[in-house]
Amino acid sequence: MDDRCCAPPETALDLRPVEGPDADEELAALTKALGHPARVQILRLLTHRVSCVCGEIVDQLPLAQSTVSQHLKVLKDAGLVRGEIDGPRICYCLEPRTLRRLRALIGGL
């Protein structure tokens, strides 16, 4: 249950600035991706189960499979989540690097 299926720990730190036009755009994109209750819940699920979850997410949310898939796409496009193929199913897990980056950007406010 808690075997990880995707992540290399990825501990390199991010040296990009937390201010300026690029940072503003980046922060806006990340918060926009997070700006929906279902997506927050998905991220929360992924933080709680140490390892990656696949379509169990669908079972945990009161939404259709296609809707959940769209939300996952938003999170993936924002870089907050990564999906890797694991046999017939797909294994999603957090991208801690991006989460750290988000914290840094918000901290810069």
Partner DNA sequence: GCCATTCATCGCCATGTCACGATAGCTGAT
Partner DNA sequence: ATCAGCTATCGTGACATGGCGATGAATGGC
| Stretch of 3-11, 14-22, 88-96, 99-107 lying at the interface with DNA (CB under 7 A) | 88-96
Indicate whether 109 belongs to the interface with a second copy (CB under 8 A). yes
Under a CB-based contact definition with an 8 Å cutoff, are residues 103 and 30 in contact? no
Number of Cβ atoms within 10 Å of the Cβ of 93: 21
Radius of gyration of the chain measured on its C-alpha atoms: 14
Q: How far is the CB of 11 from DNA (least distance, A)?
A: 26
Rounded Cα distance, 98 and 102, in Å: 6
Indicate whether 50 belongs to the interface with a second copy (CB under 8 A). no
Indicate whether 51 belongs to the interface with a second copy (CB under 8 A). no
Strands (E), 35-94: 81-86, 89-94
Indicate whether 87 belongs to the interface with a second copy (CB under 8 A). no
Residues near a second copy (CB under 8 A)? 19, 24-25, 27-29, 31-37, 39-41, 43-44, 47, 99, 102-103, 106-107, 109
